[in-house]
Amino acid sequence: MIKLVFFASLREELGCESLEVEFTEPLRLSEMIQQVEDKKGRHWGEVLAGKSVKIAINKEIVVNDELLSDGCEVAFLPPVTGG
Amino acid sequence: MRLKVLIQAEEIDLRKEYCSLQDSDGSVGAIATFYGTVRDSNENRKVQSIFIEHYSGMTEAELKKIINEAKERWKISAATIIHRIGKLEVGEGIVFVGTASSHRKDAFQSCDFIMDYLKTNAPLWKKERHDRGEDWVTSKESDKIFARSWKKRGD
């Protein structure tokens, strides 16, 4: 399984804090997002693939279409506003 | 170098944090600190309070990375970042950054750098409660420009 977590405005837009996705090897980030969109609807796909959304795998920001591993945590982060 | 990163709901003890940046051997000649507080207005709205959330684990790791990057660029003997989370009222502290060095330029610049990078890299989010409801604060282009200005040539 892969755990997806959503923060701040993204969490509120989706009405969801976290989601578990079935893992089937090999699975790229973009394929996983497509799976979520197929299951949850187009709105989800649009929100998760949003231009300003950053993605972290196991708490490290990624910029490429990474291969996912079983048990990883994928976080979707809106633009940060701390400080 | 002594490095301290804390994410906490409690108030920041400024005196304690300031003192902890000192060195017992007397080598510190400059301590620069920044203390960010909740302002009563933002984008023409009257702010009543803010709420801060973060990505536990990743925030701490990112803040440590930022301090380590500062250490590569300036001679600093200690650095502290404390960021608060949860509900904060107008006037309350949000963030404390302190750096210690033998000389003032290293202390000033590293402190400034840490704040600029924190603003653009640390997974923290602010929600504002104001006179017309509540909204997530949107990121500012100026913060990205400030952070980019520290990039070394060739980066």
Q: Is residue B69 part of a domain?
A: yes
Q: Is residue B137 part of a domain?
A: yes
Fold for A2-77, please state it. Ubiquitin-like (UB roll) (3.10.20)
Question: With left for phi above 0 and alpha for psi between -120 and 50, is residue A42 left, alpha or beta?
Answer: alpha
Q: Does B35 touch chain A (CB under 8 A)?
A: no
What residues in A contact B137, CB-CB < 8 Å?
81
Cβ under 8 Å to B: A residues 33-62: 52, 56, 59-60
CB nearest to A83's CB, from B53, B58, B118: B118
Query: Among all residues of chain B, which has the CA nearest to that of A52?
Result: B139
Nearest-CA neighbor of B62 among A18, A78, A61, A4? A61
What are the tens digits of pLDDT across the range B97-146?
Answer: 999 999 999 999 999 999 999 999 999 999 999 999 999 999 889 999 99
Residue range(s) defining the domain that contains residue B42: 2-148
**Three-class SS state of B100:** strand
Cβ under 8 Å to A: B residues 43-72: 52-55, 57-58, 61
ipTM above 0.90, yes or no: yes
Q: Is residue B155 part of a domain?
A: no
What are the tens digits of pLDDT across the range B107-120?
Answer: 999 999 999 999 99
Token pair for B24? 């017992």
Tell me the domain boundaries of chain A.
Answer: 2-77
CA–CA separation, B56 and B125 (whole Å): 12
pLDDT at B153 over 80: no
Q: Is residue B30 part of a domain?
A: yes
pLDDT band at residue B30, thresholds of 50, 70 and 90? Answer: very high
* Residue B75: CATH number of its domain: 3.90.1170.40
**Number of CB pairs, chain A paired with chain B, less than 8 A apart:** 66
- pLDDT value of position B154: 53
- pLDDT value of position A25: 85
Q: Count structural domains, chain B.
A: 1
CA A79, distance to chain mean position in Å, is: 14
CB nearest to A81's CB, from B36, B115, B139: B139
Q: Is residue B82 part of a domain?
A: yes
CA–CA separation, B30 and B149 (whole Å): 24
Q: Is residue B154 part of a domain?
A: no
Nearest-CA neighbor of B56 among A44, A22, A73? A73
Q: Is residue B153 part of a domain?
A: no
